[in-house]
Amino acid sequence: MTLPGFPDATPLAGLGGGILIGLAAALMLLGVGRIAGVSGIASRATGISDSSLRKSSAWIFLLGLPFGALVVIAAIDRLEPSFANPMLLAVAGLLVGAGTRLGSGCTSGHGVCGMSRLSPRSLVATATFMAFGIATVATMNALGLKVLP
Amino acid sequence: MISRNLPILLSGVLFGAGLTLGGMTDPARVRGFLNLFGDWDPTLAFVMGGAVIVMAIAWQLQPKLARPIFADTFALPSRRDLTPRLIGGSALFGIGWGVAGLCPGPGIAALVIEPISAAIFVAAMLAGMFLIRLTEGNA
Protein backbone atom coordinates (compact mmCIF):
# COMPACT_ATOMS: atom_id res chain seq x y z
CA MET A 1 0.00 0.00 0.00
CA THR A 2 1.22 3.49 -0.76
CA LEU A 3 0.02 6.88 0.34
CA PRO A 4 -1.35 9.15 -2.37
CA GLY A 5 1.18 11.93 -2.91
CA PHE A 6 3.94 10.14 -1.02
CA PRO A 7 5.31 7.37 -3.29
CA ASP A 8 8.24 6.57 -0.96
CA ALA A 9 6.20 6.22 2.24
CA THR A 10 5.55 2.75 3.68
CA PRO A 11 2.59 3.39 5.98
CA LEU A 12 1.71 -0.25 6.67
CA ALA A 13 5.25 -1.26 7.61
CA GLY A 14 5.41 1.91 9.70
CA LEU A 15 2.17 1.13 11.51
CA GLY A 16 3.22 -2.51 12.05
CA GLY A 17 6.59 -1.41 13.41
CA GLY A 18 4.90 1.14 15.64
CA ILE A 19 2.52 -1.47 17.04
CA LEU A 20 5.49 -3.77 17.82
CA ILE A 21 7.24 -0.90 19.59
CA GLY A 22 4.04 -0.17 21.51
CA LEU A 23 3.72 -3.81 22.54
CA ALA A 24 7.35 -3.84 23.66
CA ALA A 25 6.81 -0.74 25.78
CA ALA A 26 3.51 -2.12 27.13
CA LEU A 27 5.27 -5.32 28.16
CA MET A 28 7.87 -3.28 30.03
CA LEU A 29 5.17 -1.21 31.74
CA LEU A 30 2.64 -3.88 32.66
CA GLY A 31 5.10 -6.77 32.98
CA VAL A 32 8.07 -5.16 34.66
CA GLY A 33 6.64 -1.85 35.86
CA ARG A 34 9.07 0.33 33.96
CA ILE A 35 9.43 2.81 31.13
CA ALA A 36 11.05 1.39 27.99
CA GLY A 37 13.35 4.37 27.50
CA VAL A 38 16.37 3.30 25.50
CA SER A 39 18.67 6.21 26.39
CA GLY A 40 18.02 5.69 30.10
CA ILE A 41 18.50 1.92 29.86
CA ALA A 42 21.74 2.40 27.86
CA SER A 43 23.16 4.75 30.47
CA ARG A 44 22.11 2.35 33.21
CA ALA A 45 23.76 -0.63 31.46
CA THR A 46 27.05 1.21 31.09
CA GLY A 47 27.01 2.53 34.65
CA ILE A 48 26.74 6.15 33.47
CA SER A 49 23.56 6.50 35.48
CA ASP A 50 22.12 4.59 38.37
CA SER A 51 18.59 3.28 38.81
CA SER A 52 16.74 0.49 40.52
CA LEU A 53 16.82 -1.47 37.25
CA ARG A 54 19.40 -4.22 37.55
CA LYS A 55 22.43 -3.71 35.34
CA SER A 56 22.05 -7.23 33.94
CA SER A 57 18.43 -6.50 33.04
CA ALA A 58 19.46 -3.31 31.26
CA TRP A 59 22.00 -5.26 29.18
CA ILE A 60 19.43 -7.93 28.36
CA PHE A 61 17.01 -5.31 27.02
CA LEU A 62 19.75 -3.68 24.94
CA LEU A 63 20.87 -7.04 23.51
CA GLY A 64 17.30 -7.65 22.44
CA LEU A 65 17.35 -4.59 20.13
CA PRO A 66 19.85 -5.90 17.52
CA PHE A 67 18.38 -9.38 17.88
CA GLY A 68 14.95 -8.03 16.92
CA ALA A 69 16.53 -6.16 14.02
CA LEU A 70 18.10 -9.42 12.78
CA VAL A 71 14.73 -11.18 12.86
CA VAL A 72 13.18 -8.49 10.65
CA ILE A 73 16.14 -8.41 8.26
CA ALA A 74 15.92 -12.19 7.88
CA ALA A 75 12.16 -12.08 7.33
CA ILE A 76 11.86 -9.32 4.74
CA ASP A 77 13.94 -8.10 1.85
CA ARG A 78 14.86 -4.50 2.09
CA LEU A 79 17.34 -2.09 0.61
CA GLU A 80 20.56 -1.63 2.55
CA PRO A 81 20.23 1.67 4.36
CA SER A 82 23.09 4.12 4.02
CA PHE A 83 24.58 5.99 6.98
CA ALA A 84 26.29 9.33 7.45
CA ASN A 85 30.10 9.56 7.33
CA PRO A 86 32.05 8.74 10.53
CA MET A 87 32.64 12.40 11.40
CA LEU A 88 28.95 13.27 11.25
CA LEU A 89 28.01 10.07 13.09
CA ALA A 90 30.39 11.00 15.90
CA VAL A 91 29.09 14.56 16.17
CA ALA A 92 25.48 13.34 16.06
CA GLY A 93 26.19 10.63 18.64
CA LEU A 94 27.73 13.12 21.06
CA LEU A 95 24.74 15.46 20.72
CA VAL A 96 22.26 12.60 21.10
CA GLY A 97 24.04 11.21 24.17
CA ALA A 98 24.46 14.54 25.94
CA GLY A 99 21.00 15.74 24.93
CA THR A 100 19.14 12.64 26.10
CA ARG A 101 20.94 12.70 29.46
CA LEU A 102 20.16 16.39 30.00
CA GLY A 103 16.64 15.96 28.64
CA SER A 104 15.98 12.76 30.61
CA GLY A 105 14.93 10.70 27.62
CA CYS A 106 14.70 10.15 23.89
CA THR A 107 12.23 9.12 21.22
CA SER A 108 11.21 6.00 23.15
CA GLY A 109 10.94 7.26 26.72
CA HIS A 110 9.48 10.69 25.93
CA GLY A 111 8.07 10.14 22.42
CA VAL A 112 6.32 6.81 22.96
CA CYS A 113 5.96 6.15 26.70
CA GLY A 114 5.61 9.73 27.95
CA MET A 115 3.42 11.17 25.19
CA SER A 116 0.95 8.30 25.50
CA ARG A 117 0.75 9.08 29.24
CA LEU A 118 0.25 12.78 28.45
CA SER A 119 3.24 13.59 30.65
CA PRO A 120 3.83 17.35 30.38
CA ARG A 121 7.61 16.89 30.45
CA SER A 122 7.46 14.33 27.64
CA LEU A 123 5.08 16.41 25.52
CA VAL A 124 7.43 19.39 25.78
CA ALA A 125 10.54 17.26 25.23
CA THR A 126 9.05 15.57 22.15
CA ALA A 127 7.84 18.86 20.65
CA THR A 128 11.33 20.28 21.24
CA PHE A 129 13.37 17.46 19.72
CA MET A 130 11.01 17.18 16.76
CA ALA A 131 11.22 20.92 16.12
CA PHE A 132 15.01 20.95 16.36
CA GLY A 133 15.30 17.82 14.21
CA ILE A 134 13.13 19.42 11.52
CA ALA A 135 15.06 22.71 11.76
CA THR A 136 18.40 20.87 11.53
CA VAL A 137 17.43 18.98 8.37
CA ALA A 138 15.95 22.14 6.82
CA THR A 139 19.10 24.12 7.62
CA MET A 140 21.45 21.45 6.29
CA ASN A 141 19.37 21.18 3.11
CA ALA A 142 19.38 24.96 2.68
CA LEU A 143 23.18 24.96 3.02
CA GLY A 144 23.43 22.12 0.51
CA LEU A 145 24.98 19.73 3.05
CA LYS A 146 24.37 16.21 1.84
CA VAL A 147 24.52 13.67 4.67
CA LEU A 148 23.58 10.40 2.98
CA PRO A 149 24.88 9.15 -0.35
CA MET B 1 15.90 -14.07 38.05
CA ILE B 2 15.67 -15.68 34.64
CA SER B 3 11.90 -15.46 34.62
CA ARG B 4 12.14 -11.75 35.45
CA ASN B 5 14.59 -11.10 32.67
CA LEU B 6 12.60 -13.02 30.07
CA PRO B 7 9.91 -10.33 29.60
CA ILE B 8 12.71 -7.73 29.44
CA LEU B 9 14.47 -9.71 26.70
CA LEU B 10 11.19 -10.15 24.81
CA SER B 11 10.50 -6.43 25.12
CA GLY B 12 13.94 -5.62 23.71
CA VAL B 13 13.49 -8.02 20.80
CA LEU B 14 10.01 -6.67 19.98
CA PHE B 15 11.35 -3.14 20.26
CA GLY B 16 14.27 -3.82 17.91
CA ALA B 17 11.99 -5.60 15.44
CA GLY B 18 9.52 -2.72 15.49
CA LEU B 19 12.23 -0.10 14.98
CA THR B 20 13.61 -2.01 12.00
CA LEU B 21 10.25 -2.83 10.41
CA GLY B 22 9.06 0.75 10.88
CA GLY B 23 12.13 2.22 9.19
CA MET B 24 13.71 3.91 12.21
CA THR B 25 17.03 2.13 11.55
CA ASP B 26 17.19 3.71 8.08
CA PRO B 27 18.66 7.22 8.43
CA ALA B 28 17.24 8.24 5.04
CA ARG B 29 13.74 7.35 6.27
CA VAL B 30 14.20 9.30 9.51
CA ARG B 31 15.68 12.36 7.80
CA GLY B 32 12.91 12.11 5.19
CA PHE B 33 10.39 12.42 8.02
CA LEU B 34 12.22 15.39 9.53
CA ASN B 35 12.39 17.00 6.05
CA LEU B 36 9.00 18.59 6.62
CA PHE B 37 9.78 21.58 4.41
CA GLY B 38 11.16 19.45 1.58
CA ASP B 39 10.35 16.04 0.15
CA TRP B 40 8.50 14.86 3.26
CA ASP B 41 8.16 11.15 4.08
CA PRO B 42 5.29 10.63 6.56
CA THR B 43 6.15 6.97 7.36
CA LEU B 44 7.47 7.72 10.85
CA ALA B 45 4.19 9.38 11.79
CA PHE B 46 2.64 5.92 11.40
CA VAL B 47 5.37 4.37 13.56
CA MET B 48 4.86 6.95 16.29
CA GLY B 49 1.08 6.76 15.98
CA GLY B 50 0.95 2.96 16.21
CA ALA B 51 3.27 2.89 19.22
CA VAL B 52 1.46 5.68 21.06
CA ILE B 53 -1.97 4.11 20.53
CA VAL B 54 -0.85 0.75 21.96
CA MET B 55 0.89 2.44 24.88
CA ALA B 56 -2.10 4.69 25.59
CA ILE B 57 -4.15 1.52 26.11
CA ALA B 58 -1.42 0.11 28.37
CA TRP B 59 -1.49 3.27 30.48
CA GLN B 60 -5.24 2.79 30.93
CA LEU B 61 -4.63 -0.74 32.21
CA GLN B 62 -1.69 0.13 34.46
CA PRO B 63 -3.63 1.70 37.38
CA LYS B 64 -5.82 -1.42 37.53
CA LEU B 65 -2.81 -3.56 38.41
CA ALA B 66 -1.73 -3.68 42.05
CA ARG B 67 1.77 -4.64 40.87
CA PRO B 68 3.47 -5.47 37.56
CA ILE B 69 2.88 -9.01 36.30
CA PHE B 70 6.53 -10.11 36.64
CA ALA B 71 7.84 -7.67 39.27
CA ASP B 72 7.03 -6.42 42.75
CA THR B 73 6.57 -2.70 42.22
CA PHE B 74 6.11 -0.07 39.56
CA ALA B 75 9.09 2.25 39.12
CA LEU B 76 7.69 5.09 37.03
CA PRO B 77 8.72 8.73 36.57
CA SER B 78 6.62 11.22 38.49
CA ARG B 79 8.23 14.59 37.71
CA ARG B 80 6.04 17.19 36.02
CA ASP B 81 8.31 20.25 36.15
CA LEU B 82 9.42 21.88 32.92
CA THR B 83 13.04 22.95 33.23
CA PRO B 84 15.60 24.64 30.95
CA ARG B 85 17.64 21.45 31.29
CA LEU B 86 14.79 19.36 29.86
CA ILE B 87 14.22 21.72 26.95
CA GLY B 88 17.89 22.43 26.23
CA GLY B 89 18.75 18.74 26.37
CA SER B 90 15.88 17.83 24.07
CA ALA B 91 17.01 20.54 21.65
CA LEU B 92 20.55 19.10 21.55
CA PHE B 93 19.11 15.63 21.04
CA GLY B 94 16.92 16.90 18.20
CA ILE B 95 19.90 18.48 16.44
CA GLY B 96 21.88 15.22 16.71
CA TRP B 97 18.87 13.24 15.51
CA GLY B 98 18.55 15.53 12.50
CA VAL B 99 22.24 15.44 11.60
CA ALA B 100 22.58 11.65 11.23
CA GLY B 101 18.98 10.40 11.32
CA LEU B 102 19.64 8.13 14.30
CA CYS B 103 18.33 8.11 17.87
CA PRO B 104 19.47 5.74 20.66
CA GLY B 105 17.31 2.64 20.03
CA PRO B 106 17.82 2.47 16.26
CA GLY B 107 21.54 3.25 16.72
CA ILE B 108 21.90 0.15 18.91
CA ALA B 109 19.65 -2.01 16.72
CA ALA B 110 21.66 -0.95 13.65
CA LEU B 111 24.78 -2.60 15.11
CA VAL B 112 23.73 -5.68 13.11
CA ILE B 113 22.73 -3.67 10.02
CA GLU B 114 25.84 -1.56 9.48
CA PRO B 115 28.15 -2.41 12.37
CA ILE B 116 30.93 0.14 11.90
CA SER B 117 28.68 3.16 11.35
CA ALA B 118 26.38 2.16 14.19
CA ALA B 119 29.30 1.48 16.54
CA ILE B 120 30.74 4.95 15.89
CA PHE B 121 27.37 6.49 16.65
CA VAL B 122 26.75 4.42 19.79
CA ALA B 123 30.29 5.00 21.12
CA ALA B 124 29.92 8.76 20.62
CA MET B 125 26.47 8.65 22.23
CA LEU B 126 27.83 6.93 25.33
CA ALA B 127 30.69 9.45 25.39
CA GLY B 128 28.14 12.27 25.29
CA MET B 129 26.20 10.71 28.15
CA PHE B 130 29.40 10.25 30.14
CA LEU B 131 30.41 13.86 29.48
CA ILE B 132 27.21 15.10 31.12
CA ARG B 133 27.81 12.86 34.09
CA LEU B 134 31.35 14.23 34.41
CA THR B 135 30.26 17.86 34.23
CA GLU B 136 27.40 17.44 36.64
CA GLY B 137 28.67 14.77 38.95
CA ASN B 138 25.22 13.22 39.07
CA ALA B 139 22.87 11.31 36.82
Q: A26, B57: Cβ pair inside 8 Å?
A: yes
Confidence bin at B136 (pLDDT 50/70/90): confident
Distance from CA of A76 to the nearest CA of B (A): 9
Does residue B137 have a pLDDT over 80? no
Q: How far apart are CA A24 and CA A22, in angstroms?
A: 5
Per-residue confidence (pLDDT) for residue B139, from 0 to 100: 41
Chain A partners within 8 Å of B53 (Cβ): 18-19, 22, 116
Helices (H) and strands (E) in chain A, counts: 5, 0
Per domain, the residue ranges of chain A are: 11-142
B21-66 per-position pLDDT tens digit: 999 999 999 999 999 999 999 999 999 999 999 999 999 999 999 9
Domain limits for position B58: 2-136
Distance from CA of B32 to the nearest CA of A (A): 9
> Is the four-CA dihedral B1, A18, B48, B88 of positive or negative sign?
positive
The rounded percent of chain A whose pLDDT value lies above 70 is: 99
| Residue A61: burial class (beta carbons within 10 Å; 0-12, 13-18, 19+) | buried
A58-81 per-position pLDDT tens digit: 999 999 999 999 999 999 877 789
Domain count, chain B: 1
